[in-house]
Copies of this chain bind each other. A is one copy, B any other.
Amino acid sequence: MRALLLSAAFLALTAAAPPKKLTPNDVAAAAPASAWRTIPAEDLLVMTMAGGGRVVIQLAPEFAPVHVANIRKFAAANYWQGAAVYRVQDNYVAQWGINEAKRALSAGAVAHPPHEYTRSARGLSLTPLGSSDPYARSVGFSRGWPVALYKDGSASLTHCYGTVGVGRDLHPDTGTGGELYAIIGHGPRQLDRNIAIVGRVVAGIEQLSALPRGSETMGFYKEGLVAKPIVGITLASTYPAAVRPSFQYLDTQSASFARYLRIKKNRDDDFYRVAAGGADLCNVPVPVRPTPGR
């Protein structure tokens, strides 16, 4: 950890040494343009926080189409006017939105979406993680998403750091999408198949993860205390082209991702003494970058 304080000196010392072993980030940084996939602008939800910080969320219409359609309608109808982060529970979630009991649903939104907690595994183009998983029969990556496959033929997105899901009341309620949360701690995978995952944070997670923790049960803020108002939640597709946020993920079927995954499981750069020989799904975040030249 301290190492990098000394990196300039270290690099000078090793100028004539054998080629440096690559880190996972090295592999991602060197991936060719052809290995990156641009996220469609209608799949990017942009939250502007009071103070100007921005959280960008990639939506997952392949996994939760009705919830994602609701979220797009809410964004278009300015449903979230006056929204705020109202709950931050350490090592768990930051949660935001509008109290659904107090605001009429946007036109065309579905009041009681179906249980989009799983979908059929058919149609997924799976790159296996290749390590065991305590929560699912197998796990891997499909079109940039971490996914779990179950014995019954179903598949789900997984609760990893940055995963965005839909707040809900007790089962069988599924939530509308008007209240959302992002994971800001160790991936609480027990929530998989129990809640609708609608996306993941691709930029600005620190706008949520570094917020003060709420003092009340489950990290709710004390009533009346709005720690972090949200001044706008809109789709990137509504931005003028010149300033439209744009992000790319590393194609999880690319050779670069395969190499990234291999090194994630077997770190052997100079800091390491023992390579793990495996990894857990949430420890292999799919690389994301701002689209170059934008």
Please tell me if the beta carbons of A220 and B135 are within 8 angstroms of each other in the complex.
no
Which of B133, B161, B185, B218 is the one whose CB lies under 8 Å from A132?
B133
What's the minimum C-beta distance from A54 to chain B, rounded to whole angstroms?
Answer: 14
How far, in angstroms, from A172 to B205 measured CA to CA in the complex?
A: 34
Interface residues of A in 203-223 (CB under 8 A from B): 205-206, 209-213, 217-218, 220
Rank and list the top 3 A-B pairs by shortest CB-CB distance, nearest first: A134-B278, A131-B134, A1-B167
Instruction: Say whether A280 faces chain B, with CB atoms less than 8 Å apart.
Output: yes
Q: Which of A38-46, A70-78, A90-98, A234-242 contacts B (4 or more CB under 8 A)?
A: A90-98
Interface residues of A in 16-30 (CB under 8 A from B): none
**Given A10-B169, A134-B279, A189-B276, 16 more pairs with CB closer than 8 A:** A1-B95, A1-B168, A1-B179, A2-B100, A2-B167, A2-B169, A90-B209, A115-B273, A117-B274, A132-B132, A134-B276, A134-B278, A193-B274, A194-B273, A209-B213, A210-B211
Q: Mark A80-95, 1 if CB is under 8 A from B, else 0.
A: 0000000110110101
Residues on B with beta carbons closer than 8 Å to the beta carbon of A200? none
Residues on B with beta carbons closer than 8 Å to the beta carbon of A279? 134-135, 189-190
Q: Mark A218-251, 1 if CB is under 8 A from B, else 0.
A: 1010000000000000000000000000000000
Count residues on chain A whose CB falls below 8 Å from chain B CBs: 69
Residue of B nearest to A135 (CB): B276
Please tell me if the beta carbons of A273 and B193 are within 8 angstroms of each other in the complex.
yes
Please tell me if the beta carbons of A134 and B181 are within 8 angstroms of each other in the complex.
no
Identical subunits present:
2
How far, in angstroms, from A210 to B186 measured CA to CA in the complex?
A: 15
Instruction: Say whether A15 faces chain B, with CB atoms less than 8 Å apart.
Output: no
How far, in angstroms, from A264 to B134 measured CA to CA in the complex?
A: 12
Residues on B with beta carbons closer than 8 Å to the beta carbon of A274? 117, 193-194
What's the minimum C-beta distance from A6 to chain B, rounded to whole angstroms?
Answer: 6
Instruction: Say whether A110 faces chain B, with CB atoms less than 8 Å apart.
Output: no
Please tell me if the beta carbons of B283 and A3 are within 8 angstroms of each other in the complex.
no
Instruction: Say whether A267 faces chain B, with CB atoms less than 8 Å apart.
Output: yes
How far, in angstroms, from A270 to B168 measured CA to CA in the complex?
A: 12
Residues on B with beta carbons closer than 8 Å to the beta carbon of A209? 90-91, 209, 213
Please tell me if the beta carbons of A280 and B283 are within 8 angstroms of each other in the complex.
no
Instruction: Say whether A105 faces chain B, with CB atoms less than 8 Å apart.
Output: no
Residues on B with beta carbons closer than 8 Å to the beta carbon of A162? 91
Please tell me if the beta carbons of A194 and B272 are within 8 angstroms of each other in the complex.
yes
Residues on B with beta carbons closer than 8 Å to the beta carbon of A205? 90-91
Please tell me if the beta carbons of B190 and A267 are within 8 angstroms of each other in the complex.
yes
How far, in angstroms, from A135 to B280 measured CA to CA in the complex?
A: 8
Please tell me if the beta carbons of A3 and B169 are within 8 angstroms of each other in the complex.
yes
Given A170-B3, A171-B273, A211-B210: A186 touches B283 (CB 8 Å cut-off): yes
Which of B132, B134, B218, B283 is the one whose CB lies under 8 Å from A188?
B283
